[in-house]
Structure 1
Protein backbone atom coordinates (compact mmCIF):
# COMPACT_ATOMS: atom_id res chain seq x y z
CA UNK A 1 0.00 0.00 0.00
CA UNK A 2 1.29 3.45 -0.88
CA UNK A 3 0.61 6.11 1.70
CA UNK A 4 -0.83 9.31 0.34
CA UNK A 5 1.32 12.28 1.25
CA UNK A 6 -0.65 15.22 2.54
CA UNK A 7 1.03 18.51 1.78
CA UNK A 8 0.51 20.85 4.74
CA UNK A 9 3.20 23.36 3.87
CA UNK A 10 1.86 26.84 3.87
CA UNK A 11 2.29 28.40 0.65
CA UNK A 12 -2.61 60.64 6.51
CA UNK A 13 0.77 63.14 7.93
CA UNK A 14 1.01 65.52 10.34
CA UNK A 15 -2.38 67.13 9.80
CA UNK A 16 -4.29 64.06 10.76
CA UNK A 17 -1.88 63.32 13.57
CA UNK A 18 -2.73 66.66 15.13
CA UNK A 19 -6.37 65.58 15.38
CA UNK A 20 -5.44 62.65 17.62
CA UNK A 21 -5.39 64.55 20.90
CA UNK A 22 -5.99 63.28 24.42
CA UNK A 23 -9.34 65.02 24.33
CA UNK A 24 -10.18 63.80 21.56
CA UNK A 25 -10.53 21.61 12.77
CA UNK A 26 -9.01 19.09 12.04
CA UNK A 27 -10.31 18.50 8.45
CA UNK A 28 -9.97 15.95 5.69
CA UNK A 29 -8.47 18.38 3.23
CA UNK A 30 -5.03 19.97 3.65
CA UNK A 31 -4.80 23.23 5.55
CA UNK A 32 -2.35 26.10 5.28
CA UNK A 33 -0.79 26.46 8.70
CA UNK A 34 1.53 29.38 8.12
CA UNK A 35 -0.18 31.59 5.56
CA UNK A 36 -2.94 34.04 6.29
CA UNK A 37 -6.11 32.03 5.99
CA UNK A 38 -9.36 33.58 4.95
CA UNK A 39 -12.04 33.26 7.60
CA UNK A 40 -14.18 30.21 7.00
CA UNK A 41 -17.91 30.02 7.48
CA UNK A 42 -17.52 27.75 10.49
CA UNK A 43 -18.22 30.48 13.00
CA UNK A 44 -21.02 31.85 10.83
CA UNK A 45 -22.75 28.51 11.29
CA UNK A 46 -22.26 28.65 15.04
CA UNK A 47 -23.86 30.96 17.52
CA UNK A 48 -20.99 33.27 18.43
CA UNK A 49 -23.05 34.96 21.10
CA UNK A 50 -23.61 31.62 22.80
CA UNK A 51 -19.92 30.74 22.59
CA UNK A 52 -19.02 34.10 24.09
CA UNK A 53 -21.53 33.64 26.90
CA UNK A 54 -20.04 30.23 27.68
CA UNK A 55 -16.56 31.79 27.68
CA UNK A 56 -17.76 34.47 30.09
CA UNK A 57 -19.07 31.78 32.44
CA UNK A 58 -15.72 29.98 32.31
CA UNK A 59 -13.85 33.16 33.19
CA UNK A 60 -16.30 33.97 35.98
CA UNK A 61 -15.74 30.53 37.48
CA UNK A 62 -12.10 31.38 38.28
CA UNK A 63 -11.31 30.97 41.97
CA UNK A 64 -8.68 32.54 44.20
CA UNK A 65 -8.17 35.50 41.88
CA UNK A 66 -7.23 38.84 43.42
CA UNK A 67 -8.35 40.67 40.28
CA UNK A 68 -11.83 39.16 40.39
CA UNK A 69 -12.15 39.69 44.14
CA UNK A 70 -11.41 43.42 43.81
CA UNK A 71 -13.57 44.12 40.73
CA UNK A 72 -17.23 44.96 40.33
CA UNK A 73 -17.73 43.40 36.91
CA UNK A 74 -16.24 41.03 34.40
CA UNK A 75 -15.52 42.80 31.11
CA UNK A 76 -15.57 40.39 28.20
CA UNK A 77 -15.83 42.56 25.10
CA UNK A 78 -18.15 44.65 22.98
CA UNK A 79 -18.75 45.82 19.45
CA UNK A 80 -19.38 43.85 16.29
CA UNK A 81 -18.74 40.17 17.02
CA UNK A 82 -18.61 39.49 13.28
CA UNK A 83 -16.05 42.21 12.57
CA UNK A 84 -12.85 41.35 10.69
CA UNK A 85 -10.94 43.60 13.14
CA UNK A 86 -10.33 42.63 16.77
CA UNK A 87 -8.69 45.22 19.03
CA UNK A 88 -7.24 44.00 22.33
CA UNK A 89 -6.30 46.41 25.12
CA UNK A 90 -4.48 45.75 28.37
CA UNK A 91 -7.02 45.77 31.21
CA UNK A 92 -10.17 47.65 32.23
CA UNK A 93 -9.99 50.72 34.46
CA UNK A 94 -12.44 52.19 36.95
CA UNK A 95 -14.97 53.47 34.39
CA UNK A 96 -14.93 50.23 32.47
CA UNK A 97 -15.34 48.24 35.67
CA UNK A 98 -18.46 50.23 36.59
CA UNK A 99 -20.09 49.95 33.18
CA UNK A 100 -18.82 46.50 32.16
CA UNK A 101 -17.81 47.95 28.77
CA UNK A 102 -14.48 48.68 27.08
CA UNK A 103 -12.51 51.92 26.55
CA UNK A 104 -14.59 54.54 28.33
CA UNK A 105 -13.97 58.20 29.15
CA UNK A 106 -10.89 60.03 27.88
CA UNK A 107 -9.24 56.79 26.78
CA UNK A 108 -12.30 55.84 24.73
CA UNK A 109 -12.50 59.28 23.14
CA UNK A 110 -8.88 59.05 22.07
CA UNK A 111 -9.33 55.55 20.68
CA UNK A 112 -12.36 56.70 18.69
CA UNK A 113 -10.34 59.53 17.10
CA UNK A 114 -7.43 57.25 16.35
CA UNK A 115 -9.67 54.79 14.55
CA UNK A 116 -11.57 57.51 12.69
CA UNK A 117 -8.23 58.83 11.41
CA UNK A 118 -8.00 55.61 9.36
CA UNK A 119 -11.71 55.63 8.50
CA UNK A 120 -12.86 53.06 11.05
CA UNK A 121 -15.84 53.56 13.32
CA UNK A 122 -15.30 51.89 16.66
CA UNK A 123 -18.73 50.25 16.66
CA UNK A 124 -17.69 48.44 13.50
CA UNK A 125 -14.91 46.49 15.23
CA UNK A 126 -14.71 44.21 18.26
CA UNK A 127 -12.87 45.36 21.39
CA UNK A 128 -11.76 43.44 24.45
CA UNK A 129 -8.92 43.21 26.97
CA UNK A 130 -6.09 40.84 27.76
CA UNK A 131 -7.32 40.82 31.38
CA UNK A 132 -11.05 40.59 32.11
CA UNK A 133 -11.04 42.23 35.55
CA UNK A 134 -9.73 45.60 36.73
CA UNK A 135 -6.36 45.35 38.48
CA UNK A 136 -6.31 47.02 41.92
CA UNK A 137 -5.39 50.71 41.67
CA UNK A 138 -5.18 50.22 37.91
CA UNK A 139 -1.73 48.68 38.26
CA UNK A 140 -0.11 46.73 35.44
CA UNK A 141 -1.13 43.06 35.41
CA UNK A 142 1.55 40.67 36.61
CA UNK A 143 3.12 38.09 34.32
CA UNK A 144 1.26 35.37 36.22
CA UNK A 145 -2.08 37.14 35.73
CA UNK A 146 -1.36 37.63 32.04
CA UNK A 147 -0.58 33.94 31.59
CA UNK A 148 -3.68 32.88 33.50
CA UNK A 149 -6.04 34.98 31.41
CA UNK A 150 -4.25 34.41 28.11
CA UNK A 151 -5.89 30.99 27.90
CA UNK A 152 -9.29 32.65 27.79
CA UNK A 153 -8.08 35.40 25.49
CA UNK A 154 -6.86 32.95 22.88
CA UNK A 155 -10.21 31.16 22.96
CA UNK A 156 -11.83 34.59 22.64
CA UNK A 157 -9.82 35.27 19.49
CA UNK A 158 -10.79 31.91 18.01
CA UNK A 159 -14.49 32.64 18.61
CA UNK A 160 -14.39 36.11 17.04
CA UNK A 161 -12.11 34.77 14.27
CA UNK A 162 -10.91 38.15 12.97
CA UNK A 163 -8.80 38.81 9.90
CA UNK A 164 -6.58 41.35 11.69
CA UNK A 165 -5.72 41.69 15.39
CA UNK A 166 -4.58 45.00 16.92
CA UNK A 167 -2.72 44.64 20.23
CA UNK A 168 -2.60 47.86 22.25
CA UNK A 169 -0.22 47.79 25.17
CA UNK A 170 2.44 45.47 26.55
CA UNK A 171 0.01 43.25 28.48
CA UNK A 172 -1.94 42.51 25.32
CA UNK A 173 1.30 41.88 23.46
CA UNK A 174 2.54 39.45 26.09
CA UNK A 175 -0.80 37.65 26.41
CA UNK A 176 -1.08 36.87 22.70
CA UNK A 177 2.54 36.58 21.55
CA UNK A 178 4.43 35.71 24.71
CA UNK A 179 6.79 38.64 24.09
CA UNK A 180 7.62 40.53 27.29
CA UNK A 181 10.21 42.97 25.95
CA UNK A 182 9.69 46.73 25.65
CA UNK A 183 6.75 47.55 23.42
CA UNK A 184 8.82 50.29 21.76
CA UNK A 185 11.00 47.59 20.19
CA UNK A 186 8.07 45.48 18.96
CA UNK A 187 5.43 47.97 17.81
CA UNK A 188 4.92 48.79 14.16
CA UNK A 189 5.91 45.35 12.88
CA UNK A 190 3.47 42.89 11.40
CA UNK A 191 3.59 39.59 13.25
CA UNK A 192 1.32 36.57 13.37
CA UNK A 193 -0.17 34.22 15.91
CA UNK A 194 -1.40 30.73 15.12
CA UNK A 195 -4.44 29.44 16.99
CA UNK A 196 -6.24 26.22 16.16
CA UNK A 197 -4.38 25.87 12.86
CA UNK A 198 -5.29 29.40 11.76
CA UNK A 199 -2.86 32.24 11.29
CA UNK A 200 -3.85 35.75 12.32
CA UNK A 201 -1.83 38.84 11.30
CA UNK A 202 -1.38 41.26 14.18
CA UNK A 203 -0.02 44.73 14.81
CA UNK A 204 1.35 45.85 18.17
CA UNK A 205 0.93 49.49 19.15
CA UNK A 206 0.66 51.77 22.16
CA UNK A 207 -2.38 51.74 24.42
CA UNK A 208 -4.46 54.97 24.32
CA UNK A 209 -4.03 55.46 28.08
CA UNK A 210 -0.26 55.47 27.56
CA UNK A 211 -0.57 58.05 24.78
CA UNK A 212 -2.55 60.32 27.10
CA UNK A 213 0.30 60.20 29.63
CA UNK A 214 3.04 60.43 26.98
CA UNK A 215 1.55 62.30 23.97
CA UNK A 216 4.97 62.63 22.34
CA UNK A 217 4.55 59.01 21.26
CA UNK A 218 1.44 59.74 19.19
CA UNK A 219 3.62 60.06 16.11
CA UNK A 220 4.67 56.42 16.45
CA UNK A 221 1.12 55.29 17.04
CA UNK A 222 0.10 57.16 13.89
CA UNK A 223 2.69 55.23 11.90
CA UNK A 224 1.18 52.00 13.21
CA UNK A 225 -2.31 53.13 12.29
CA UNK A 226 -1.22 53.87 8.72
CA UNK A 227 0.20 50.36 8.42
CA UNK A 228 -3.07 48.91 9.69
CA UNK A 229 -4.98 50.94 7.10
CA UNK A 230 -2.63 49.72 4.38
CA UNK A 231 -3.11 46.10 5.42
CA UNK A 232 -6.90 46.51 5.43
CA UNK A 233 -6.73 47.87 1.90
CA UNK A 234 -4.34 45.14 0.73
CA UNK A 235 -6.59 42.41 2.13
CA UNK A 236 -9.65 44.17 0.68
CA UNK A 237 -11.36 44.05 4.06
CA UNK A 238 -14.71 45.77 4.27
CA UNK A 239 -15.56 47.18 7.69
Structure 2
Protein backbone atom coordinates (compact mmCIF):
# COMPACT_ATOMS: atom_id res chain seq x y z
CA UNK A 1 0.00 0.00 0.00
CA UNK A 2 1.37 3.36 -1.02
CA UNK A 3 1.88 5.72 1.91
CA UNK A 4 0.42 9.24 1.86
CA UNK A 5 2.96 12.01 2.27
CA UNK A 6 2.81 13.83 5.57
CA UNK A 7 2.40 17.17 3.75
CA UNK A 8 -0.77 15.96 2.06
CA UNK A 9 -2.26 14.84 5.38
CA UNK A 10 -1.61 18.25 6.95
CA UNK A 11 -3.19 20.04 4.00
CA UNK A 12 -6.26 17.81 4.31
CA UNK A 13 -6.61 18.55 7.99
CA UNK A 14 -6.34 22.28 7.31
CA UNK A 15 -9.16 21.97 4.81
CA UNK A 16 -11.22 20.12 7.41
CA UNK A 17 -10.56 22.92 9.92
CA UNK A 18 -11.65 25.63 7.51
CA UNK A 19 -14.92 23.76 6.79
CA UNK A 20 -15.92 22.28 10.11
CA UNK A 21 -14.09 24.49 12.55
CA UNK A 22 -12.25 21.61 14.09
CA UNK A 23 -9.00 22.47 15.85
CA UNK A 24 -5.98 21.37 14.03
CA UNK A 25 -3.13 19.94 16.06
CA UNK A 26 0.02 19.69 14.07
CA UNK A 27 2.43 17.35 15.73
CA UNK A 28 6.00 18.45 15.40
CA UNK A 29 8.28 15.52 15.18
CA UNK A 30 11.53 15.76 17.11
CA UNK A 31 14.48 16.97 15.12
CA UNK A 32 16.97 14.19 14.44
CA UNK A 33 20.03 14.42 16.58
CA UNK A 34 23.37 15.13 15.03
CA UNK A 35 26.85 14.60 16.39
CA UNK A 36 26.99 18.29 17.28
CA UNK A 37 24.10 17.97 19.72
CA UNK A 38 26.38 16.22 22.17
CA UNK A 39 28.59 19.33 22.46
CA UNK A 40 27.51 21.32 25.56
CA UNK A 41 26.27 24.82 24.96
CA UNK A 42 28.98 27.41 25.40
CA UNK A 43 27.82 30.30 27.56
CA UNK A 44 29.81 33.45 26.97
CA UNK A 45 30.55 35.22 30.21
CA UNK A 46 31.10 38.93 29.86
CA UNK A 47 33.31 40.17 32.64
CA UNK A 48 32.93 43.74 33.74
CA UNK A 49 36.20 45.67 33.66
CA UNK A 50 37.82 45.94 37.08
CA UNK A 51 37.20 49.13 38.94
CA UNK A 52 40.61 50.63 38.35
CA UNK A 53 39.92 53.60 40.58
CA UNK A 54 39.35 51.40 43.62
CA UNK A 55 42.98 50.34 43.94
CA UNK A 56 44.57 53.10 41.91
CA UNK A 57 46.14 54.86 44.87
CA UNK A 58 47.18 51.59 46.45
CA UNK A 59 48.99 50.60 43.27
CA UNK A 60 50.73 53.95 42.94
CA UNK A 61 51.85 54.38 46.53
CA UNK A 62 55.47 54.97 45.59
CA UNK A 63 55.90 57.16 48.65
CA UNK A 64 56.14 54.02 50.77
CA UNK A 65 59.48 53.30 49.13
CA UNK A 66 60.87 56.81 49.62
CA UNK A 67 64.48 56.81 50.79
CA UNK A 68 64.58 60.34 52.18
CA UNK A 69 62.30 63.01 53.62
CA UNK A 70 62.74 65.16 50.53
CA UNK A 71 61.67 62.31 48.28
CA UNK A 72 58.72 61.54 50.52
CA UNK A 73 57.60 65.17 50.50
CA UNK A 74 57.81 65.29 46.72
CA UNK A 75 55.63 62.20 46.40
CA UNK A 76 52.88 63.17 48.86
CA UNK A 77 52.70 66.98 48.70
CA UNK A 78 49.81 66.92 46.20
CA UNK A 79 47.77 64.40 48.21
CA UNK A 80 43.99 64.59 47.77
CA UNK A 81 43.00 61.52 49.78
CA UNK A 82 40.83 63.45 52.26
CA UNK A 83 38.70 66.59 52.17
CA UNK A 84 41.28 68.73 53.96
CA UNK A 85 43.17 69.30 50.70
CA UNK A 86 40.29 71.32 49.26
CA UNK A 87 40.98 74.51 51.22
CA UNK A 88 44.70 74.31 51.83
CA UNK A 89 47.18 76.88 50.66
CA UNK A 90 50.16 74.72 51.51
CA UNK A 91 50.80 71.10 52.38
CA UNK A 92 52.69 71.27 55.71
CA UNK A 93 55.09 68.33 55.53
CA UNK A 94 57.33 69.08 58.52
CA UNK A 95 60.68 70.70 59.19
CA UNK A 96 63.89 70.24 61.10
CA UNK A 97 66.84 67.90 61.31
CA UNK A 98 66.29 64.80 59.10
CA UNK A 99 68.57 62.87 61.45
CA UNK A 100 67.02 64.19 64.65
CA UNK A 101 67.14 62.19 67.84
CA UNK A 102 63.94 63.92 68.99
CA UNK A 103 60.68 64.35 67.09
CA UNK A 104 57.92 66.71 68.17
CA UNK A 105 54.44 65.90 66.91
CA UNK A 106 51.49 68.26 67.01
CA UNK A 107 47.90 68.15 65.83
CA UNK A 108 47.74 70.00 62.50
CA UNK A 109 48.61 73.23 60.73
CA UNK A 110 46.96 76.51 61.75
CA UNK A 111 46.37 79.59 59.62
CA UNK A 112 49.97 80.81 59.71
CA UNK A 113 51.35 77.31 59.09
CA UNK A 114 49.00 76.89 56.12
CA UNK A 115 50.22 80.23 54.76
CA UNK A 116 53.93 79.48 55.15
CA UNK A 117 53.92 75.72 54.63
CA UNK A 118 55.86 75.14 57.87
CA UNK A 119 54.77 73.66 61.20
CA UNK A 120 54.55 75.72 64.41
CA UNK A 121 55.38 79.17 63.07
CA UNK A 122 52.65 81.15 64.84
CA UNK A 123 52.39 82.14 68.50
CA UNK A 124 52.17 78.50 69.57
CA UNK A 125 55.28 77.83 67.52
CA UNK A 126 57.23 80.54 69.31
CA UNK A 127 56.20 79.07 72.65
CA UNK A 128 57.28 75.63 71.47
CA UNK A 129 60.68 77.08 70.53
CA UNK A 130 60.98 78.53 74.06
CA UNK A 131 59.97 75.21 75.66
CA UNK A 132 62.60 73.36 73.67
CA UNK A 133 65.27 75.88 74.60
CA UNK A 134 64.34 75.51 78.26
CA UNK A 135 65.31 71.83 78.07
CA UNK A 136 68.42 72.53 75.99
CA UNK A 137 67.16 71.69 72.51
CA UNK A 138 67.52 74.05 69.58
CA UNK A 139 64.57 74.06 67.20
CA UNK A 140 66.68 73.06 64.20
CA UNK A 141 68.10 70.20 66.25
CA UNK A 142 64.76 68.36 66.41
CA UNK A 143 62.19 67.43 63.75
CA UNK A 144 58.66 68.85 63.97
CA UNK A 145 55.60 67.40 62.22
CA UNK A 146 51.85 67.01 62.69
CA UNK A 147 49.22 64.29 62.70
CA UNK A 148 47.55 65.86 59.63
CA UNK A 149 49.39 67.91 57.03
CA UNK A 150 46.59 70.16 55.80
CA UNK A 151 44.79 72.75 57.89
CA UNK A 152 41.34 71.69 59.16
CA UNK A 153 38.68 74.39 58.56
CA UNK A 154 38.53 76.99 61.33
CA UNK A 155 41.35 75.09 63.09
CA UNK A 156 38.91 72.40 64.22
CA UNK A 157 40.18 69.07 65.54
CA UNK A 158 40.92 66.65 62.68
CA UNK A 159 38.20 64.06 62.14
CA UNK A 160 39.07 60.38 62.75
CA UNK A 161 38.95 59.56 59.04
CA UNK A 162 41.23 62.49 58.24
CA UNK A 163 43.72 61.32 60.83
CA UNK A 164 43.60 57.73 59.58
CA UNK A 165 44.31 58.92 56.06
CA UNK A 166 47.32 61.04 57.01
CA UNK A 167 48.91 58.97 59.81
CA UNK A 168 50.74 56.61 57.38
CA UNK A 169 52.69 59.62 56.07
CA UNK A 170 53.76 60.53 59.60
CA UNK A 171 54.76 56.95 60.34
CA UNK A 172 56.90 56.93 57.23
CA UNK A 173 58.60 60.11 58.41
CA UNK A 174 59.32 58.47 61.76
CA UNK A 175 60.77 55.40 60.04
CA UNK A 176 63.08 57.59 57.94
CA UNK A 177 64.22 59.78 60.83
CA UNK A 178 64.42 57.01 63.43
CA UNK A 179 64.36 59.30 66.46
CA UNK A 180 65.23 58.06 69.91
CA UNK A 181 62.33 59.95 71.53
CA UNK A 182 59.04 61.57 70.53
CA UNK A 183 57.17 64.36 72.29
CA UNK A 184 53.44 64.41 71.51
CA UNK A 185 51.81 67.80 71.95
CA UNK A 186 48.18 67.46 72.97
CA UNK A 187 45.56 64.73 73.04
CA UNK A 188 45.05 64.55 69.26
CA UNK A 189 48.72 63.73 68.72
CA UNK A 190 48.59 61.08 71.45
CA UNK A 191 45.44 59.51 70.03
CA UNK A 192 46.78 59.51 66.50
CA UNK A 193 50.18 58.02 67.17
CA UNK A 194 49.61 55.89 70.26
CA UNK A 195 45.96 54.89 69.69
CA UNK A 196 45.17 55.95 73.23
CA UNK A 197 41.63 56.79 74.37
CA UNK A 198 42.36 58.15 77.84
CA UNK A 199 42.20 61.82 78.74
CA UNK A 200 45.19 64.11 78.46
CA UNK A 201 45.35 64.24 82.26
CA UNK A 202 45.73 60.45 82.34
CA UNK A 203 48.36 60.38 79.59
CA UNK A 204 50.63 63.37 80.15
CA UNK A 205 53.97 63.07 81.89
CA UNK A 206 54.20 59.31 81.28
CA UNK A 207 56.35 57.34 78.87
CA UNK A 208 54.89 55.08 76.22
CA UNK A 209 56.42 52.91 73.53
CA UNK A 210 56.02 53.35 69.79
CA UNK A 211 57.98 50.72 67.88
CA UNK A 212 60.81 50.85 70.40
CA UNK A 213 60.79 54.65 70.63
CA UNK A 214 60.08 56.38 73.96
CA UNK A 215 57.09 58.70 73.68
CA UNK A 216 55.85 61.31 76.13
CA UNK A 217 52.59 63.29 75.97
CA UNK A 218 52.25 66.85 77.23
CA UNK A 219 50.17 69.96 76.60
CA UNK A 220 49.91 71.55 73.18
CA UNK A 221 51.48 75.05 73.23
CA UNK A 222 48.20 76.54 71.97
CA UNK A 223 46.49 75.17 75.09
CA UNK A 224 49.16 76.80 77.25
CA UNK A 225 48.46 80.14 75.59
CA UNK A 226 44.80 79.80 76.51
CA UNK A 227 45.51 78.45 79.99
CA UNK A 228 48.85 79.75 81.34
CA UNK A 229 48.24 77.91 84.62
CA UNK A 230 49.13 74.66 82.83
CA UNK A 231 52.65 75.82 82.05
CA UNK A 232 53.93 74.57 85.39
CA UNK A 233 52.70 71.03 84.69
CA UNK A 234 54.13 71.17 81.18
CA UNK A 235 57.47 72.23 82.62
CA UNK A 236 57.48 69.17 84.88
CA UNK A 237 56.68 66.96 81.87
CA UNK A 238 59.44 68.26 79.64
CA UNK A 239 62.02 68.05 82.42
CA UNK A 240 61.23 64.34 82.68
CA UNK A 241 61.53 64.12 78.92
CA UNK A 242 64.98 65.67 78.95
CA UNK A 243 66.12 63.44 81.81
CA UNK A 244 65.03 60.31 79.92
CA UNK A 245 66.75 61.58 76.79
CA UNK A 246 70.01 62.06 78.64
CA UNK A 247 69.79 58.52 79.99
CA UNK A 248 69.10 57.03 76.55
CA UNK A 249 71.98 58.72 74.74
CA UNK A 250 74.61 57.92 77.37
TM-score range for the pair, normalised by the shorter chain length: 0.7 to 0.9
Provide the aligned length of Structure 1 versus Structure 2.
186
Residues 57 and 230 of structure 1, relative CA distance in 2, 3 Å threshold: same
Candidates 215, 230, 237, aligned match of 1:217? 230
Mind listing any 5+ residue stretches in structure 1 that lack a counterpart? 1-48
What residue is the counterpart of 1:229 in the other structure? 242
Compute the TM-score of the two structures, normalised by the length of structure 1. 0.73
Equivalent residues of 1:146, 1:171 under 8 A apart: no
What residue is the counterpart of 1:36 in the other structure? none
Candidates 158, 173, 182, aligned match of 2:199? 182
Q: Distance in 1 between matches of 2:76 and 2:192?
A: 15
Partner of 1:226, secondary structure, is: helix
Partner of 2:120, secondary structure, is: coil
What residue is the counterpart of 2:72 in the other structure? 55
Candidates 101, 120, 128, aligned match of 1:111? 128
How far does residue 212 in structure 1 lie from its aligned partner after superposition? 0.5
Compute the TM-score of the two structures, normalised by the length of structure 2. 0.70
- Point out 4+ residue stretches in structure 1 off by more than 4 angstroms: none
Q: Distance in 2 between matches of 1:101 and 1:64?
A: 20
How far does residue 55 in structure 1 lie from its aligned partner after superposition? 2.4
What residue is the counterpart of 1:71 in the other structure? 88
CA distances 1:180-210 after superposition (whole Å, capped 9, x unpaired): 331111011000011xxxx111111111011
The structure showing larger relative contact order (alpha-carbon pairs under 8 Å, at least 6 residues apart) is: 1
The structure whose Rg is larger is: 2
How far does residue 50 in structure 1 lie from its aligned partner after superposition? 5.3
What residue is the counterpart of 1:37 in the other structure? none
CA distances 1:75-124 after superposition (whole Å, capped 9, x unpaired): 11111111101111110101011111111121111111111111111111
Equivalent residues of 2:69, 2:98 under 8 A apart: no
Match runs of 1:1-239 below 5 Å: 51-63=68-80, 65-194=82-211, 199-236=212-249
How far does residue 53 in structure 1 lie from its aligned partner after superposition? 3.0
Larger helix share, 1 or 2:
2
How far does residue 61 in structure 1 lie from its aligned partner after superposition? 4.7
Equivalent residues of 2:90, 2:117 under 8 A apart: yes
